[in-house]
Amino acid sequence: MRHGKKNNHLGRTAAHRSAMLSNMAASLILHKRMVTTVAKAKALRKYAEPLLTKGKNDTTHSRRTVFSYLQSKEAVKELFDNVAGKIANRPGGYTRILKTGNRLGDNADMCIIELVDYNEDMLTTTGTAAAAKPKTRRRSSGKKSTDAQGSTDASASTTEEATGAAPAETPAAE
């Protein structure tokens, strides 16, 4: 049983794993997308997303903290100058994993991990739909009751149309 074992060791020692994740995070920030295995991409997402969140707050302390993880001046500069501006209003979920199939040599599950705000194709297709409808986090309780009334009225009219009968009127008692 693997209770409480949260991180994937990826078949590496702790030093090798931290160095690999540091290099992958720096490459992701510099190149905005990369091709890797699904297991490494999921581990990288847990490693990189807190760094991207820290990149929103441009202070000397946060720059030094991010540098201690990335060990790359170019990646830190790119994160705080360019990437932070694009992700400033996003409340998390900065990366996207797109599965691409299996690798020919060893049949490993491969994927593309990318920064969400830098995929121009997906931004243009979903940007028009997102602009029309504001994003909400929770459904208000008032919507359910109005939807329920609307669906009962709609179901009554569809049954009348299906039978071809006019709405039934009650005869007045004379």
Mean pLDDT in residue range 20-33: 97
* pLDDT at site 124: 80
Cβ-contact 111, 100 below 8 angstroms: yes
SS3 at position 108: coil
Query: Taking 70 as the threshold, does the pLDDT of residue 38 lie above it?
Result: yes
Q: What burial class does residue 52 get, using C-beta atoms within 10 Å of its C-beta: 0-12 exposed, 13-18 middle, 19+ buried?
A: buried
Cα–Cα distance measured from residue 45 to residue 52, given in angstroms and rounded to the nearest whole number: 10
Domains belonging to the chain, first-starting first, are 14-123 (3.90.1030.10)
22-26, 32-36, 131-135: least confidently modelled range:
131-135
User: To the nearest whole number, what is the mean pLDDT of the chain?
Assistant: 85
Q: What is the pLDDT of residues 95-120, one digit of tens each?
A: 999 999 999 999 999 999 999 999 88
Q: Hey, what are 132's tokens?
A: 């029309």
Cα–Cα distance measured from residue 6 to residue 46, given in angstroms and rounded to the nearest whole number: 11
